[in-house]
Structures are given as structure tokens and as C-alpha cells.
Structure 1
């Protein structure tokens, strides 16, 4: 676990060091990396394509990038993106005074992936799913789209696929733009996204907790955690 940052910027050095350590242990055949929900995929992918001068770590000699996977919440897609028109209208240039928002980040994640998991399909009608998949296909015409429920997918669909094409990826606009940047701007600054961790040992009231977790505020993009429930009669 790499904490207090994102592996595409503030934790990039930590990521390289950990991968080097895992490879040198010689115990693993495959490394699956789960980045944060606000991570940009391009700078993470680029980490595997060059030798870092400061640390001296060359991931190209240690590991091969196999596949980039993006998970899309089919049930929240329109809510997060506001409308299909805003997704397809990609020819509008943004000036220097414009700032990107979470929509741009999520589009980046869709455009860059090799495999896209369209999750929570059981919560969406077939007509809406077909419409949604059509929109996604406009943004990413080459990725393999797999419909899933509860995130269940055959591991062979996302592991050891050989789908990542460096030559093709390195010619994309996003890849070139990232290389031209003097430094990578953390997503917390670029998109105005914040996060916090809540820990407490005092027990929650089960019914009130369940009610609270059923209605997330609109501004909450992603939430996860562990809740330990005491056995009946325990304090």
C-alpha cells in the first residue's frame, strides 16, 4: 500500500521503488496495480517506459506494462458527466484561463484504457446500457468493453492480455501532452478533488449508518472503507 499521494505524481518514485523490490524478490509472476479513483493513467503508464535518472531505476528492464483497465459505474455515468452531449462535444478548444474538472479526468480514464469494465449493469435498463456503451465507444473505439455486475470478471480478461501497445499509446495526444509538461500537476490541485479518512473505535448505530450510506451527497465521487460490526450483545 502506498499512502498519502497518487502514483501518477507524488508517489511515482515510491511506485518505482516498490516494483523494483517486488521484482527482485522473485516470488511473483504478475503485479496488479490499483491506482486511486482520481489517478490519470498516462503518467502511470509512462513510468514503465523510461529509466529514472534520479533513482537509477529502469522499469523497462524489470517489468512490462501489460494492460490498462478502467471501471465505469454504469449507474452513475449520466449523473457524473451531466449529459451525453458534453461527452461527444470534444472539438471545443479550452483557453489558458479554463480549468479542467472531474469530467475531463474521467474522460481521460476512458480514452486511455485497453479494457473497460462497464460495472453495475444490473442496475440499468438494457436500452440505457446500449446508449451508454455507444457513448463510451465514441470516446474509446479500440478498448475491449466488458459488462459486469458487482465487479466480477474473468481474470483472463484483464491479466496477461498483452493488449498494451506502446507504439500506439506514445503517439496519442494525451501521451505527448504529458511528456511536454515540465512537471505533473497533482489531481487534487488540477481538478479540485479532496479526500479524507475517518477512523473511530466507538461503534456506529447500524440502522443510522446504513441510512447514511444509502444517500451519498452529489459531490462524493468515490467512497470506500471497512466497517467492523460487533457481535450481538458486545459493547
Structure 2
């Protein structure tokens, strides 16, 4: 039996780009469709101003005094878990602070404790084209904005009425050079066709984190995700050395890997995190977590990875790295 999962939509973009205006329209559309939604907002300061746009009765959590990308990554995972435990939700919208890196938000949303509870539908980056045109930003901010463009599924180019057509064309070419896969939507006042977010497309590279389509909510499946997330439940222990070798040899761009695992050499359950080419294993004393692997990357071959993981579990002594 399929496990019900909540859709996750991640809104990124710098302050003033129009994220909150778009979120207001998204929540209204969800209300009209009858879906049950929750909202999680992240602010760097001690008070959230944007929370006032959330309709009464909508489950809302606020993460203040920190950015998802640095100080409260684990807190976001925990708060998502609480939302799902306290409310039966069809979708959760995360409005991240402008200082958040999309990878870090996705990382928090794919914690192993959430592997069977959520599926990321889209990363939506909101851009103030006037701000981009003026370029009045330091190198650190410019790099972050480029990263927000790079990992977006949808680029909402707001305030396009304030630039000339040729200027907009040049900007779109620049965005395309950073991320050729993203859907670009030029607009004013965040007015976009919301069907772009929710329409079914059977040709999608990934319907959910298992690589299959969700027929029960097919009308709400995003067309094609730029980043791939994938989780695989484990039924047997792994050999730590062979597992680590396999991680380092996975084709494509593997940004993150994590999970709960057991090893043939050592009793007990371990939480593992893998980034920048090195795994970290920490013993977990709780027994309520199910062994699972979670991956975030681009250009990953889900079917081959699933076969490899099965091989690692069932034929440890015969496994040979072929790549």
C-alpha cells in the first residue's frame, strides 16, 4: 500500500522580490481546491512580518533568528515532522529567507525521519529583475543569487514592466546560461499561471522520491524537477567499506546522501551524512528509526542506484565496483 506523502514547495529569493505575494496566491488556490496545506516561514530577525498573509486556520510554523542554511537546518526538519504529526496535510509551503541556499533547504526537507512523509515538488526562485539589472550587490550576495537560480525548477522574473524588452531578453539568456532546465516566467506583481506548478506530466523524470508517479494527486505533480531526490528503504546490513566506495563512484552530481544504516561489521543503527566526498557515521541509540538511504543530486540514475543498493545488501562478497 502506498504511503501518503505531503507535497513540499520551496520558495526562495531575496527580500522584496515578491515571494509573499506569490505565496498568498498559492494559498488561495489551494483553499479553493480543498487541499489541506501548512506553511513554514523562515526569518533572520526576531519577528516574522510575512506571517500575516497566511489565512486564519492554516497550520503555520515560524523559524526566527536564523537562516535555514546555517543555524536552524535541523530545526526545520523537526518542525516539518511536527506539522505532519499534528495535521493531516496535502502540501507544505516553505518560504525561506533570502539568505537561504536551496540545497540546504532541500537537505532539511529530506532528513531520513521525513523520507516516507514528504516529496519535494518544486523549488521556485523569485527574482526582482530590477535588482538583478542594477547589480548593486556584493560578491557574496551575487554568488548566492546565482545559486538560487542554479537550483530552481521555476524562475519567476518579477517586475518585468520596469525593464526594456531587450534588457529582459539579455537577463533571460543569463539565467539560461546558469540553469538551462528551469521554467522561466516573466511577470509583474507575481501574476503567474498556477497550473504550471500543479499540472500532470507523465514524462516527468521524477514523480516522487521513489521515481514513481502519485496517481491519487496526479493533477498536482510538477512537470520536471531540476534536482533529483531519491530514497531507498534498506532490508539488510551493509559493508561499510564497500558502501563508502560505492558512494564515491556514483555517476552524476551527488550533492548530499544520508540515512539510517546498519553495518555487517558493527552492531547497532547509525545515522550517516555524506557531503563533499566524505561520509560521517554517528551511532543512534533510538530503535524507532527504519534503515533508509536518501540522495540529493543531479543526473542520478535512480534505477541503477536501486540495483546497486540491492547488490550491496545481497551480494556483499561478490560486489565489485564497475565504474
So what's the TM-score if we normalise by structure 1? 0.60
Structure 2 unaligned regions, length at least 5: 1-61, 199-219, 231-250, 257-273, 279-323
- Are the counterparts in 1 of residues 125 and 155 from structure 2 also a CA contact under 8 Å? yes
Q: Which residue of 2 aligns with 1:180?
A: 276
Q: Which residue of 1 aligns with 2:90?
A: 29
Give 1:125 shift.
Answer: 1.1
Q: Which residue of 2 aligns with 1:39?
A: 100
Out of 57, 64, 69, which is 2:119 matched to?
Answer: 64
- Residues 154-194 of structure 1, C-alpha deviations (whole Å, 9 max, x = no match): 333235415334169x9437x26x92289xxxxxxxxxxxx
- Are the counterparts in 2 of residues 6 and 39 from structure 1 also a CA contact under 8 Å? yes
Q: Which residue of 2 aligns with 1:121?
A: 160
Q: Which residue of 2 aligns with 1:77?
A: 132
- Are the counterparts in 2 of residues 81 and 103 from structure 1 also a CA contact under 8 Å? no
Match of 2:144, SS state, is helix
CA–CA distance in 1 between the matches of 2:144 and 2:252? Answer: 20
CA–CA distance in 2 between the matches of 1:154 and 1:107? Answer: 24
- Are the counterparts in 2 of residues 41 and 108 from structure 1 also a CA contact under 8 Å? yes
CA–CA distance in 2 between the matches of 1:30 and 1:21? Answer: 14
Match of 1:150, SS state, is coil
- Residues 124-155 of structure 1, C-alpha deviations (whole Å, 9 max, x = no match): 11111111111111111000001111112233
Structure 1 unaligned regions, length at least 5: 52-57, 83-98, 183-235
CA–CA distance in 1 between the matches of 2:133 and 2:139? Answer: 18
Match of 2:118, SS state, is coil
* Number of residue pairs aligned between Structure 1 and Structure 2: 158
Give 1:123 shift.
Answer: 0.7
So what's the TM-score if we normalise by structure 2? 0.44
2:205 aligned with 1:166: no
Give 1:122 shift.
Answer: 0.9
Match of 1:68, SS state, is strand
Pairing 1:1-235 to 2, within 5 Å after superposition = 1-51=62-112, 58-80=113-135, 101-159=140-198, 160=220, 161=222, 163-164=224-225, 165-166=227-228, 171-172=252-253, 175=255, 179-180=275-276
Give 1:81 shift.
Answer: 6.5
Q: Which residue of 1 aligns with 2:245?
A: none
Asked which structure has the greater RCO (Cα within 8 Å, sep 6+), the reply is 1
Q: Which residue of 2 aligns with 1:203?
A: none
- Are the counterparts in 1 of residues 150 and 179 from structure 2 also a CA contact under 8 Å? yes
Q: Identify if the C-alpha distance between structure 1 residues 180 and 157 changes in structure 2 by more than 3 Å, giving closer, same or farther.
A: same
- Are the counterparts in 2 of residues 67 and 162 from structure 1 also a CA contact under 8 Å? no
Give 1:103 shift.
Answer: 1.2
Per residue, is there more strand in 1 or in 2?
Answer: 2
Q: Identify if the C-alpha distance between structure 1 residues 155 and 80 changes in structure 2 by more than 3 Å, giving closer, same or farther.
A: same
Q: Which residue of 2 aligns with 1:55?
A: none
